[in-house]
Copies of this chain bind each other. A is one copy, B any other.
Amino acid sequence: MGRSWWGWGNDEDALAGPELTALTDRVAGLLPGADLTDHEPPKVADLGLRPPRVRPPNSLAGLCSADPADRAAHAHGKAFRDVVRNLRGELAHVPDVIARPRTEQDVVDLLDWCTTAGVAAIPFGGGSSVVGGVEPRFEGPAVTIDLGGLDQVVEIDRTSRAARIQAGVFGPHLEDQLRPHGLSLRHFPQSFEFSTLGGWLATRAGGHYATLHTHIDDLVESTRVITPSGVSESRRLPGSGAGPSPDRLFLGSEGTLGIITEAWMRLQDRPTHRANASLNFADYASAVAATRAVAQSGLHPANCRLLDPAEAFLNAGVTTGGGVLVLGFESADHPVDSALARAVEICQDHGGEVSEGGKNPSAHWRGSFLRMPYQRDALARRSMIVETFETACTWDRFDSLHAAVTTAATDAIRQIAGVGLVTCRFTHVYPDGPAPYFGVYAPGTWGQTVAQWDEIKTAVSDALAANGGTITHHHAVGRDHRPWYDRQRPDPFAAALTAAKSTLDPAGILNPGVLI
């Protein structure tokens, strides 16, 4: 299979045939008059990439590539603005060298070279960043260190249900290696097929569980990180209170403090008991109240996704006045029917009605979930602005945040595109608040859709900040969220993080422009 250099996933999985026709017909029906002309991606040979400005030393040359297709494929992440810039051949910043370490010593040697030569080093997992996390958006040469060669489950401790895993492994290959042992990491972000363990750790990715262990953070037993100042390896522990957690400094460090090469991860037995239900609501406020009650019940559903009416219609084909709550419970130990029954009862107390027969939104949701990025690409080629952004806030602030963000997005869309749609779903919920995930769909103008999206993004990010939301719940900060992140984090913490960075990466080579 061939990975797409310009868009999501694999070339051969891109929308085509009836699936593509159905989508474009649907959009054309919703947006009469929109210019949906297809714009094909350029050929890499036509990109006119500037020649590499650095050459690796002979000792590392065997790990390194300066192939234009390789460099182009590592220049951007996979956000809407990345894909569109690729489609338009606008690759202003491209790494000079792609290095593929085969051993941890290779990583050490590569960082040594970069430190000595003063070359920026960008750690790269699956490259699925949607926040500009892997883009060398700075002057000066850059080496992108692609960890895909470090992809092994090295050791399994069945007793403690944990495994030592190399950071460059992609989701499916990781699960393939765990399956014979009856174990699973059960970390399934939307990017699962095209992202790596190291990427999940460096960005504090959000995964499978809608409640409880929502971020990968909680699944980490210990980490091993190569910094320019030495190797930081924490002790494998189920829990500890010995000073601030070393792991928590590197989790979310987005490649600025070191390169994670291995981690001991906590695993799960594969579930044998499952129970699912979907509930339709007549009004959104009741749906939110029901979701909050479930989140505060201590039932810990594995899935608890509230789709607003637009989201439910677009992605699950269900028409409701107030949206659909998709609930799922699972266990490897005991039946979960009574937990589901109680959650359903809570929802019914808030006016929810169990969705009977017809399309199962739960199953339908899962299928469309993994196709979404491919649909996004098909629409991006046709001048559509299609992007998502996500946050989290406490429950007391959700109504005002939701209203403000929706208004900000809608106003921006109206000015830019005239018409469009803003949707909201919860990807994760906590006892003290939800993690809302917004979608924006609007007809743009070819050649301007990046600037148009950036304008919308500024409006919604300002609204998030003004209403107590985080600039990111699980997409990380990267370069795109930086202005709002700088306002969000406490100044003394920023100073402490900068001091830590200066100590661990004195030459400042690691992922410049991100976080610090």
Contacts and interface: CB of A to CB of B under 8 A. Distances in A.
B470 A237 contact: yes
Contacts of A221: 394, 432
Interface stretch (A39-47, A96-104, A238-246, A274-282): A238-246
Contact of A493 (B203, B246, B331): B246
Interface string A158-169: 011110000000
A474 B238 CA distance: 12
A136 interface: no
B492 A241 contact: no
B245 A248 contact: yes
A221 B246 CA distance: 20
A47 to B, nearest CB: 32
Nearest to A292: B159
A492 B252 CA distance: 17
Contacts of A10: none
Interface residues on A, range: 35 or more
Interface in A237-281: 237-246, 248-254, 257-258, 266, 269
Interface string A468-510: 1011111111000100010011111101111110111000000
Given A159-B396, A497-B500, A499-B503, 11 more contacts: A159-B292, A227-B492, A229-B492, A235-B468, A235-B470, A238-B394, A243-B252, A258-B492, A333-B342, A499-B500, A499-B502
Q: Pick the 5 closest A-B CB pairs, nearest first.
A: A238-B433, A238-B430, A496-B500, A204-B241, A499-B499
Interface of A: 157, 159-162, 203-206, 212, 214-215, 221, 225, 227, 229-246, 248-254, 257-258, 266, 269, 292, 296-300, 331-334, 338, 342, 346, 392-396, 428, 430-435, 468, 470-477, 481, 485, 488-493, 495-500, 502-504, 515
